[in-house]
Structure 1
Amino acid sequence: MQKIIIVGATSGIGREMARLYAGAGHLVGATGRRQELLYTLQLEFPNHVITECFDITGPGATAHLESLTRKLGGLDLLVYSAGWGEIMDSLDWAVDKGTVDVNVNGFLEAVHFAWRIFVDQGHGHLVTLSSIASIRGNRHSPAYSAAKAFQSTYFEGLSIKARHMKIPLYLTDVQPGFVDTQMAKGPGRFWVAPPEKAARQILQAINRRRWRVYVTHRWWIIAKIAKWIPSWLYHRIG
């Protein structure tokens, strides 16, 4: 039985991952800002879900994570599923700041918390849900693309660091395409996957200790195209 914390488990992919892990008999620590949604998740799996209601960008986030870890009796896997961004025609400081607070500052706090535990105990697994949007800049939400790129690049660096430490400390960067959640915004949506399908594929990647995975799997095609399309063309159509 693994002891798992999912940051951002009130809805969407994070909630479905919590349900899958709890249903498989693991002990899940679910976090989020909406107490009523955490409560319904705990009611569904009373023996396998423990909750802690807090904002990962607020004061005392690490203290909440420490409290949840004590309740779980340890930590084997931390998933950072919290994320936020908005589509904007013009720059909005409040939106950009909120995007960075969740996707960079909150992300860093959770990752540093888990990293210390995993290094001390000599094993662990860190997972982040970045985005296919991390690959290139995006005029509709430049801060979101940049913040998700930070997550992916940071995880690549930590993955290399962990490999050199020669301990079983694994990292998985999940880059979802469109999933049918509140975060699926913007024009021209396609290949929209249900959260349940996305969660199942993510769990498979974690079990296989993949360091990067595209969800659903066919989004690797878009990733390859986005990486190699010439800038002069991308700037015309992006």
Structure 2
Amino acid sequence: MKKAILIGASTGIGRALAKVLLSNGYKLGITGVEKEILNEINHSSDKNLKSVFFDCTSEQSSMIIDDLIDWLGGLDLLVFSAGIGQLDKNQGYTIENEANELNVMAFTKIADKSFRYFESKGHGHFVAITSVAGLKGHRLAPAYHAAKAYQISYLEGLRHKAINSNIPITITDIRPGFIDTGLVNHRHFWIATKEKAAHQIYRIIKKKKNIGYVTKRWVLIALILKIIPHWIYNRL
């Protein structure tokens, strides 16, 4: 039985992905900040599932991950699905910095801890839910787009490190487009359900891909964002 930890699984994509992993035979430790939901999960009869309250930005985050690894009896996969971001052109430093504490600082801490653990064990798989937003900056959420760009680059660095150390550690970068998590304006196009996104993410994880777009059609948007001239993009 494979053993996994899913960071940020009390709501949204993370919760949907947790259900998919369990249905595919994983022993799973999940974390989140929605205490009522986590309590409901802990009262379920599934012996292969444990949930804990977890603030990624707290100093106790590493200790909680260690406790989950002990409960699992090891670790094969860690998925970082925590994140925050709002589309608001009037965001100030305080709001953006709070988001950066999770999207940048906590992400880095957990990614580094995961890599070092897998390095010590000689194998492993680290997955992070980044975003298509990381491919280009945008006026509505400058810090969020920058944070996702940071995550994408950091994952590339970890992947390069794993390859050069000749250790079979897989680093997977999941880049969703618009997902119906309650945070997305329904006027946006190509909105996927959490369930559809979770199943596609699982397939990407199973294939151990380096990069995966969710849904697949967002590959087209990614290509456009990479080649679009600045003078055109600045008018959008």
Q: TM-score, normalised by structure 1?
A: 0.95
Give the paired residue count: 236
Quick check: 1:210 aligned with 2:209? yes
Distance in structure 2 (CA, Å) of the matches to 1:179 and 1:107: 21
Counterpart for residue 61 of structure 2: 61
Query: Is 1:23–1:45's contact at 8 Å kept on the other side of the alignment?
Result: no
Distance in structure 1 (CA, Å) of the matches to 2:41 and 2:212: 27
Structure 2 runs not aligned, ≥5 long: none
**For residues 89-108 of structure 1, what are the structure 2 equivalents within 5 Å?**
89-108=89-108
- CA RMSD, 1 decimal: 1.3
Give the letter aligned to residue 216 of structure 2.
H
Counterpart for residue 48 of structure 1: 48
Give the letter aligned to residue 139 of structure 1.
R
Identity of aligned residues (%): 39
Distance in structure 2 (CA, Å) of the matches to 1:41 and 1:222: 37
**For residues 75-90 of structure 1, what are the structure 2 equivalents within 5 Å?**
75-90=75-90
Q: Give how far 1:35 is off.
A: 1.8
SS at match of 2:200: helix
Counterpart for residue 229 of structure 2: 230
Give the letter aligned to residue 46 of structure 2.
P
Counterpart for residue 175 of structure 1: 175
Give the letter aligned to residue 204 of structure 1.
R
SS at match of 2:120: helix
User: Residue by residue, what CA displacement relative to the aligned partner does 1:84-142 show, whole Å, maximum 9, x if unpaired?
Assistant: 01222224122101111111111111111111110000000000000010000010000
Q: Give how far 1:188 is off.
A: 4.5
Give the letter aligned to residue 143 of structure 2.
A
Quick check: 1:113 aligned with 2:110? no
Distance in structure 1 (CA, Å) of the matches to 2:172 and 2:116: 17
Distance in structure 2 (CA, Å) of the matches to 1:200 and 1:76: 19
Distance in structure 1 (CA, Å) of the matches to 2:164 and 2:2: 25
**For residues 4-83 of structure 1, what are the structure 2 equivalents within 5 Å?**
4-44=4-44, 46-83=46-83
Q: TM-score, normalised by structure 2?
A: 0.96
